[in-house]
Structure 1
Amino acid sequence: MKQEPGEKVLVIGAGYAGLTAAITMASYGYQVAVVEKHETTGGRGRAFSESGFTFDMGPSWYWMPEVAEGFFNRHGRRIGDYLSLVRLDPSYQVVFGKNDVVQLPASFSGICSLFESIEKGAGSKLKIFMREAEYKYQTAMKTYINKPGLHISELCNAEVIQSVLKMDMLQSFRSHASKFFKDERLLRIIEFPILFLGATADKIPAMYSMMNYADMKLGTWYPMGGMVKLSEALTTLAREKGVHFLNGTEVTSLVVINDKVSGVDTNKGFISADIVISGADYHHTDRELLPVQKSNYSEEYWQKRVMAPSCLIYYIGVNRKLPGLLHHNLFFEHDLQQHATAIYKTSTWPSHPLFYLCCPSKTDISVAPEGMENLFYLIPTAPGLADTPEIRERYLKMLLSETELFCGESFEKDIIYSRSYAYSNFIEDYHAFKGNAYGLANTLGQTSFLKPSIRHKKIKNLFFTGQLTVPGPGVPPAILSGEMVAHHILKQKSVKHEIFI
């Protein structure tokens, strides 16, 4: 296929993947429009403001900063011209008990010293562990993550084959980590980055120790003003490239004629297109927007997919400052195994949940009124786990009680804003399959060409991007996913384009 003059590309959804797909296609001369259900762009990376607070709705960790920076660079821009990044130090703290708190310094040498202080010999072992993790990270970024996942042949080259054993694909993460560390606290810190990948540490492949390299070497960053600033930066770049946004416009169906999408029906009328890229929930597009007989996958296929966790979130505004908290706080006081069992085996609410608490007002005074705190609580939960107002209220009280105990002060009476967000909200806002928050589980059986495909099998001008396809969930993978599908289309169209990573 050759590019035709003035071809129109329609992108469904203005999340990270939709935005990078739109920017890339526009950079190569296509007329690009983005149809977005919500009034603002960003998808899960949106924010909202209430009572003087600004709450990031979804992602709160800014890792792998070179991914976003590289994307802007490839479009002749510097990300620093769009947002202000600061590196957090300490990166985060892990609370194992009132008087048992571990703070991770930003410097790797500081982390090694910390590990050594907890377990003799652990500092030098961490250096060895990290050398392996760095190899996995660099190899993945160079060899795996830039593949469109269309066929097994993508992995059948000498470089990939040679890396298989070193990537530890057949060993579990827990088995690998246990060779280096014995202290349970260190193991929890090492295992923390894989908590949302979709399986327990004894099931996730050890290759994901690459996430420890992202954590401990590349660091934890924060865009001043909130994570929403990344969405806003991408939106600004898109507009600079000529992308047109149709916010507040929801796609209700894809119109297919003779195995070609001619456009989409929306709540505001029909929009024609020569190429459609869906950054909406893949299952929603496949089973609800397309005519059933044109679906890429059967409902049976979708029901067999293994999902990563969903979550229960609280956005809390407190009319005072709270002692003891950092920007990122992981409360790991309770038994990890019981919580993991509730998520991955029994699909029940955990009796004593582990949770994450983000307090961005410790870093950024703009996200809360003066003298107040902005709190973002998150409990990982099983996907498809329905909730009720009573459940939400009960778990909020648990989290507040545990936080008050840690801070040594009561503050429930000082809460001036509170909102919860869970399963039903993910479905309402994003048509999220099974109310998922983190996409498909990162198991070997759902990796690369075994993920849902970025292209439709029969409809040649329909493509998919986002967390349910390659490379997978998370902010950096979403950025790469949009760029990847765009470059696949350009290749199909025989448009000369740069290798993107």
Structure 2
Amino acid sequence: MKKVIIIGGGLGGLSAAVTLAHAGFQVRLFEKNQHLGGKLMPVKLGSFSFDFGPNTITMPEVFKGIIEQTGERSEDYFEFLPLRGHTRNHFPDGTQLDFSSDPEEMANEIKKLSSKDAANYPAFLKEAERLYGMSERYFFPATFQSWKDYLSPSLGLALLRARPTETLHHFFSRYFSDRRIVQALDRYATYIGSSPFKAPATFSMIAHLELGQGVYYTKGGNVRIADAFAALAQKYGALLQTEAEVEKILVQNGKAAGVELAGGQMFEADLVILNGDLLSAYPKLVEEKHRPSFTDAKISRFEPSISAFVITAGLNTHLAGLKHHNIFFSGNYRQEFDDLFDTQSYSQEPTVYISNSSYTDSTISPEGSNLFILVNAPALSADGELQIDPEAYKERIYDFLETYGIDIRSHLAEERIFTPLFLKETFSAYRGALYGPSSHRKADAFLRPANASSDIGNLYFIGGSTHPGGGSPIVTMGGQNLAKRIIKKYTS
């Protein structure tokens, strides 16, 4: 059977490893970090445990499917806990809006702010579900390997029906007049690293995932998903090697022939799958002369998505005002995105997200709250410089939270700061961006880089910067889709 090398042990690489190994392929995966799972990284500070990567889990069937395709039971590997009332949105005027996956509960929450908007909620949910259904049918299952794959008439019609010319903010504003409700929904643009004032309304399907299908948490920490994939891949014969950085993809006669590690060791392969940020990993691993269709100049024209400024804070108590997911909104949301994208600067009054998973699972932080505090940040400047003093910006965030009655400093037991520089250095993220290209340009939103090199044979791409896009279930799905296409090609 064919030898496959996978570069990068994120969820996409791991899902591909499970799928290919189970089908009998000889799989070897190299990951430069000590952990597997990519940005789904465990962080331990004293007795406090944190998920660095996705704190909100949707589409649990995708993760279960990676396990169950082998005939095994997903419940033997992880357990998803549903969070019906999952996110509390706090606004500067002192009001709150709790997001729920129960339609009646959600409508009642909206009614507290606007009776008119509550009446529009069922129609909004229906349209968000329609947009999700189109993605599920036409975009998610596909792997695009050349421009010809985009020429399907059905795909073209789907693109036209997916509200590509309307912005997310405009779409939400058609259903809801209360600015607080619109602001809470606008935040879904950050799930794809973009601005709600520029990203297409197509991505309102994210609202269907959280408000229609539901939000989940993995008991013991979301990192259990990566642990499960790794264990299953190894069970079926895949070799997973951490602290093994690939330095070069070997190209012979126009085809990928293997890899060279940082220490000089070489490994041959029939196929190579690059699971990483395409904008940074591809030019690093392949000389420009071998990729005329993806030159350095072309890469520089991509607008990076937003990055993140993160504080993991262990508190010696449980703050009464915090649920599992919490948003503390700034007074001027549009200005915040103008700062992030137009001037590439840190907002002076940022919206703050806090994940407090100990609210649901006390076993992971038995001595208090494990707060994962995230603020949207601009990508690094073109010269790679960080635009702020991390300690000073941390204090600004704590000051902002105190205006909402959230006192971090008085109860702080453990603390660590992560900046876009960490994302760049640890995950080879292009300019420290979370999702590769932003989704502002239509080409970047709908026609992300394909899953195969157009210049080098037997070289494939998966991850958030390629089709079908970012987000933990989507990259997981992308890895499985590509693996299935390879299996079909080489075993038919």
Give me the TM-score of the superposition, normalised by structure 2. 0.94
Contact in 2 for aligned 1:387/1:423 (Cα 8 Å)? no
Offset of 1:352 from its aligned partner?
A: 0.9
Q: Secondary structure at the match of 1:43?
A: coil
- Compared CA separation, residues 121 and 223, structure 1 to 2 (3 A): same
Q: Among residues 448, 460, 480, which one is paired with 1:451 in the alignment?
A: 448
What does residue 328 of structure 1 align with?
325
What does residue 423 of structure 1 align with?
420
CA deviations on 1:277-330 (whole Å, 9 max, x unpaired) are 111322333211112311351111101112210111111111222120011111
**RMSD of Structure 2 on Structure 1 (CA):** 2.0
What does residue 291 of structure 1 align with?
287
CA deviations on 1:362-404 (whole Å, 9 max, x unpaired) are 111122133x111111111111246659621122112222333
What does residue 400 of structure 2 align with?
402
Q: Secondary structure at the match of 2:392?
A: helix
Matched, 1:354 2:351: yes
What does residue 281 of structure 1 align with?
277
* Alpha-carbon separation, structure 1, partners of 2:156 and 2:268: 44
Q: Among residues 28, 48, 55, which one is paired with 1:53 in the alignment?
A: 48
* Alpha-carbon separation, structure 2, partners of 1:405 and 1:44: 31
What does residue 458 of structure 2 align with?
461
* Alpha-carbon separation, structure 2, partners of 1:170 and 1:311: 27
- Compared CA separation, residues 309 and 390, structure 1 to 2 (3 A): closer
What does residue 172 of structure 1 align with?
167
* Alpha-carbon separation, structure 1, partners of 2:184 and 2:260: 48
Matched, 1:201 2:196: yes
* Alpha-carbon separation, structure 1, partners of 2:455 and 2:127: 42
What does residue 182 of structure 1 align with?
177
Matched, 1:492 2:489: yes
- Compared CA separation, residues 168 and 407, structure 1 to 2 (3 A): same
Contact in 2 for aligned 1:149/1:451 (Cα 8 Å)? no
What does residue 124 of structure 2 align with?
129
Contact in 2 for aligned 1:98/1:406 (Cα 8 Å)? no
Contact in 1 for aligned 2:288/2:296 (Cα 8 Å)? no
What does residue 73 of structure 2 align with?
78
Offset of 1:438 from its aligned partner?
A: 2.0
What does residue 499 of structure 1 align with?
none
* Alpha-carbon separation, structure 2, partners of 1:244 and 1:187: 47
Counterparts of residues 3-402 of structure 1 (less than 5 Å): 6-97=1-92, 99-151=94-146, 153-157=148-152, 159-268=154-263, 269-295=265-291, 296-370=293-367, 372-385=368-381, 391-402=389-400
Contact in 2 for aligned 1:98/1:405 (Cα 8 Å)? no
CA deviations on 1:62-101 (whole Å, 9 max, x unpaired) are 0122222233332323322211111113211011037322
Offset of 1:152 from its aligned partner?
A: 5.2
Give me the TM-score of the superposition, normalised by structure 1. 0.92
Offset of 1:160 from its aligned partner?
A: 3.6
CA deviations on 1:430-487 (whole Å, 9 max, x unpaired) are 1111111122212421145x32221122321211111111001110111011112222
Offset of 1:223 from its aligned partner?
A: 0.3
* Alpha-carbon separation, structure 2, partners of 1:163 and 1:206: 14
Paired residue total: 487
* Alpha-carbon separation, structure 1, partners of 2:144 and 2:270: 24
Contact in 1 for aligned 2:167/2:201 (Cα 8 Å)? yes
Unaligned stretches of 5+ residues in structure 1 = 1-5, 497-501
The residue type equivalent to 1:362 in the other structure is Y
Q: Secondary structure at the match of 1:114?
A: helix
What does residue 479 of structure 1 align with?
476
Contact in 2 for aligned 1:325/1:407 (Cα 8 Å)? no
- Compared CA separation, residues 266 and 157, structure 1 to 2 (3 A): closer
- Compared CA separation, residues 470 and 331, structure 1 to 2 (3 A): same
* Alpha-carbon separation, structure 1, partners of 2:445 and 2:68: 28
Matched, 1:470 2:467: yes
Structure 1 window deviating more from structure 2 (470-479 vs 456-465): it is 456-465
Contact in 1 for aligned 2:45/2:415 (Cα 8 Å)? no
Q: Secondary structure at the match of 2:343?
A: coil
CA deviations on 1:192-245 (whole Å, 9 max, x unpaired) are 212243443232211211111111011111001111011111112212222111
- Compared CA separation, residues 26 and 230, structure 1 to 2 (3 A): same
Offset of 1:405 from its aligned partner?
A: 3.8
* Alpha-carbon separation, structure 2, partners of 1:128 and 1:62: 25
Task: Please list every run of at least 4 consecutive aligned residues from structure 1 whose deviation after the TM superposition is greater than 3 angstroms.
Answer: 150-166, 385-390
Offset of 1:148 from its aligned partner?
A: 1.6
- Compared CA separation, residues 478 and 428, structure 1 to 2 (3 A): same
Contact in 2 for aligned 1:344/1:382 (Cα 8 Å)? yes
* Alpha-carbon separation, structure 2, partners of 1:263 and 1:25: 17
Q: Secondary structure at the match of 2:91?
A: strand
Offset of 1:36 from its aligned partner?
A: 1.0
- Compared CA separation, residues 103 and 40, structure 1 to 2 (3 A): same
Matched, 1:437 2:438: no
What does residue 3 of structure 1 align with?
none
Contact in 2 for aligned 1:440/1:467 (Cα 8 Å)? no
The residue type equivalent to 2:7 in the other structure is I
Contact in 2 for aligned 1:326/1:362 (Cα 8 Å)? yes
How many percent identity over aligned positions? 25
The residue type equivalent to 1:446 in the other structure is D
* Alpha-carbon separation, structure 2, partners of 1:16 and 1:96: 34
The residue type equivalent to 1:276 in the other structure is V
- Compared CA separation, residues 333 and 457, structure 1 to 2 (3 A): closer
Q: Secondary structure at the match of 1:29?
A: coil
